[in-house]
Amino acid sequence: MSNLIQEFQEYSDWRTAVANALTRYQTWIVGANLEDSVSDQRIARALQRLADDKLSIAFIAEFSRGKSELINAIFFAAYGQRILPSSAGRTTMCPTELLYDASFPSCIRLLPIETRADMQATSDYKAAPPHVWTVLPLDISSVDGMLEAFKQVSLTKWVSVEEATLYGLYDECDPDTVLARDAQGRVQISQWRHAIVNFPHPLLKQGLVIIDTPGLNAIGTEPELTLNLIPNAHAVLFVLAADTGVTKSDIDIWRHHIGNGAGRMVVLNKIDSMWDALRSEEEIERQIAEQVATVARTLGVLPAQVYPVSAQKGLVGKINVEPALLEKSRLPALENALVQGLIPAKRDIVCAQLIADINPLMLTKQANLAARMRNTLDQLQELKSLRGKNKKIISYMIKRVDIEKKEFNQSLLKLQGTRTVFARLSFGVFETLGMGMLKEEIRLTRMAMETSKFTVGFRSAVKNFFDQAQANLTDSGKKTDEIAEMMSVMYRKFSTEHGLALTTPMPFSLDKYREEISLIEAAYRRQFGAITLLRTGQAVLMERFFDAIASRVRMSFLQANRDVDAWLKVVMAPLEEQCRVHKLQLKQRLEAIERVHEAVGSLEEKIASMEHLYAALEAQKDMLNIHEEALIAALGPKLALLRVAA
């Protein structure tokens, strides 16, 4: 556990160091008068990315696999007893997120199961008013009090079959969802739909999010798990039990909801069931190895991806400080694999995202400062060339600068026409990306699903929804591409004709949102691709999944709208800023030559002033390099390599 905490602490310290270096860099460029709206947006986005960075680990298993015990053993042994309820049978009844949010007090927020009757996804309720949730205070000073509060997550209730069906939790034709009935014909369901546990555990405070999931039934019926929490988890620990092996339901979970990919680990728990005083250590090791090989073969993974452990013995070994028992539980090996496979990969991802913001920022600042130095040097050389010149030659130079100024003003008039086209195209982007249009498409899809009585009708309605969403993103993407191409032409024109220090415009693409929609559709197809006969329970489930789909697509479109809006505000900013600076410099050049023309004696003063300014700019360049190197050092050597590659 100490290694796990240390690695997370180092990762947290790294994020803090990068944020501090970036803040110092921003403060300096503001003081050097090198800031602009594009830079502000890039830095703000990078700082927000670091502040919001979370690292989520999802634990998935059928009931009675020891999943809650494993979470206790890995994360909560320091409390000296179990924090999550762990006993025979099912203890995790609803998806539970353990995290820390400083804006909330330590508490457990519970979403009532009745919300499943509404057409809203769990993620929609996370932004709902507090009264929607049942909030239980969490006394972190009392371990017993915390344990008692956690038990509330496992509460169940008895409801009628009709009510359970309304919530999508019961389908009499589906053996996977049929629940046992009591004497009154009622069925037992979870009292809660979702739980969020907020408390200041050291790892949670550093951005770790632990996702504790119920078994197959809940995974199959709660869209939030299938469409959001599990796919977005940075690591997924699939927990099996050595005493049961790989069951059919285990295989279903693995194939339909997890799959063999990055950050996916298989944990073979309860290996202590194989410990037998009548067998030798070699026999026990051989039996465990055979079980690992069987699991790996069944799930289609390498044996090295299967980690045999005893969570219960590992927890006992930690609490009682029994190193030998802890080592025998093999829990440290799993923790080390988790740390080595999770944190470096996450850091690489964050680095790659930061380079997309920071590298263009650095290049722009270097280009802007180089342009200032070049223009100052041009003015200096121009003034030096006036030494010993008569007024006739100086008058000629005034006319030459004046002609250059008029030509630049003509280009500015053409730029005004570009702004008009820019505004028209910008409006067109939101015609197909607007939230109003998406809301109407969601409404029409729901209507089509409600009026359809057959599977093909459901599938057709949802397919049309995805097709239209993709088409809208494609149309908007074409318009942003047109804007980008138009701005590229203008950038090249002003760079070539007037020597402005302009690189290519800030790139933009909606591809990631098209990919996200494709992933959502793929998850939906995995869930319902095999359905050939529509039953009442399945109809309710499909409609509920569409509600979650609509919520996810709505969030994607909302973020796409924000990104497009932010891009449109800054894509022209570098050109306008360079035009403003160039226009000012032309004015200053003309005024300087005119003053020399009127009073030749002031020429040496002007030259001295320009030399002083150029020396100051050289000092600024040195400081800019120092701050950039400090930022690169904070990010680490991998960013330096990425920067060179870029």
Mean of pLDDT values over 250-276: 83
Tokens of 288: 């465990």
Contact 411, 493 (CB under 8 A): yes
Side chain identity at 377, as an amino acid letter? Answer: L
Tokens of 417: 């026409």
Pairing mode of beta strands 96-99, 192-198: parallel
The pLDDT-based confidence of 213 (bands split at 50, 70, 90) is confident
The pLDDT-based confidence of 223 (bands split at 50, 70, 90) is low
Mean of pLDDT values over 575-593: 72
Contact 473, 509 (CB under 8 A): no
- Pick from 26-40, 540-554, 569-583: least confident: 569-583
φ and ψ at 192, to 5 degrees? Answer: -125, 150
What pLDDT, on a 0 to 100 scale, did the predictor assign at position 216? Answer: 57
Alpha-carbon span 458 to 466, nearest angstrom: 13
What pLDDT, on a 0 to 100 scale, did the predictor assign at position 62? Answer: 80
Side chain identity at 32, as an amino acid letter? Answer: A
Side chain identity at 245, as an amino acid letter? Answer: G
Alpha-carbon span 385 to 629, nearest angstrom: 38
126-144 tens-digit pLDDT: 877 777 899 988 888 887 8
Mean of pLDDT values over 563-588: 77
User: DSSP letters along 266-292, please?
Assistant: EEEE-GGGG--TTS-HHHHHHHHHHHH
Q: In this predicted model, which residue has the larger pLDDT, 541 or 634?
A: 634
Bridge partners, 55 (sequence order): 208
- Pick from 217-226, 442-451, 562-571: least confident: 217-226
81-109 tens-digit pLDDT: 788 776 554 556 788 899 998 888 899 99
Contact 65, 249 (CB under 8 A): no
CA dist list (Å): 321 to 70, 77, 134, 325: 17, 10, 38, 9
Alpha-carbon span 157 to 192, nearest angstrom: 9
* Tokens 């403003």 found at: 580
Helix then strand then coil, % of the chain, to nearest 5:
70, 10, 20
Residues 6+ apart with CB under 8 A from 458: 449, 452, 534, 539, 542
268-293 tens-digit pLDDT: 999 998 888 778 888 988 999 999 99
Tell whether the model's pLDDT for residue 640 goes beyond 50: no
362-418 tens-digit pLDDT: 887 887 788 788 878 877 887 777 676 656 666 766 777 777 777 777 777 777 778
Bridge partners, 159 (sequence order): 187
The DSSP letter of residue 255 is: I
Contact 556, 521 (CB under 8 A): no
Mean of pLDDT values over 582-606: 67
Bridge partners, 190 (sequence order): 156
HSE-CB at 478 with a 13 A cutoff on CA atoms is: 8
Alpha-carbon span 639 to 36, nearest angstrom: 24
User: DSSP letters along 329-363, please?
Assistant: HTHHHHHHHHHHHHHHHHHHHHHHHHHHHHHHHHH
Alpha-carbon span 220 to 206, nearest angstrom: 31
Pairing mode of beta strands 208-212, 306-308: unpaired
Counting residues of the chain whose pLDDT is more than 90, the rounded percentage is 20
Alpha-carbon span 564 to 559, nearest angstrom: 9
What pLDDT, on a 0 to 100 scale, did the predictor assign at position 260? Answer: 66
CA dist list (Å): 195 to 77, 96, 347, 367: 22, 5, 28, 51
544-554 tens-digit pLDDT: 778 888 888 98
- Pick from 154-158, 277-281, 421-425, 465-469: least confident: 277-281
What pLDDT, on a 0 to 100 scale, did the predictor assign at position 646? Answer: 40
Pairing mode of beta strands 235-241, 55-60: parallel
Counting residues of the chain whose pLDDT is more than 70, the rounded percentage is 85
What pLDDT, on a 0 to 100 scale, did the predictor assign at position 537? Answer: 52
What pLDDT, on a 0 to 100 scale, did the predictor assign at position 599? Answer: 55
Tell whether the model's pLDDT for residue 644 goes beyond 50: no
497-543 tens-digit pLDDT: 777 767 677 788 899 999 989 988 887 777 665 554 445 455 666 77
What pLDDT, on a 0 to 100 scale, did the predictor assign at position 533? Answer: 42
Contact 155, 194 (CB under 8 A): no
Closest CA to 294 of 256, 330, 268, 312: 268
The pLDDT-based confidence of 560 (bands split at 50, 70, 90) is very high
What pLDDT, on a 0 to 100 scale, did the predictor assign at position 394? Answer: 65
Cα angle for residues 548, 550, 556 (degrees, 5° grid)? 105
Side chain identity at 503, as an amino acid letter? Answer: T
Question: For the CA atoms of 555, 558, 564, 567, what is the dihedral angle to 10 degrees?
Answer: -80
CA dist list (Å): 97 to 111, 214, 218, 229: 12, 12, 15, 9
Question: What's the mean per-residue pLDDT of the chain?
Answer: 81
Mean of pLDDT values over 441-456: 79
Q: In this predicted model, which residue has the larger pLDDT, 69 or 535?
A: 69
User: DSSP letters along 593-637, please?
Assistant: HHHHHH-GGGHHHHHHHHHHHHHHHHHHHHHHHHHHHHHHHHH-H
The pLDDT-based confidence of 476 (bands split at 50, 70, 90) is very high
* Structural element, H or E, at residue 264: strand 264-269
User: DSSP letters along 152-216, please?
Assistant: GGG-EEEE-HHHHHHTT---TT-TTT---B-TTS-EEEESEEEEEEE---HHHHTTEEEEE---H
Q: In this predicted model, which residue has the larger pLDDT, 396 or 340?
A: 340
Alpha-carbon span 278 to 159, nearest angstrom: 49
Mean of pLDDT values over 314-328: 93
HSE-CB at 199 with a 13 A cutoff on CA atoms is: 21
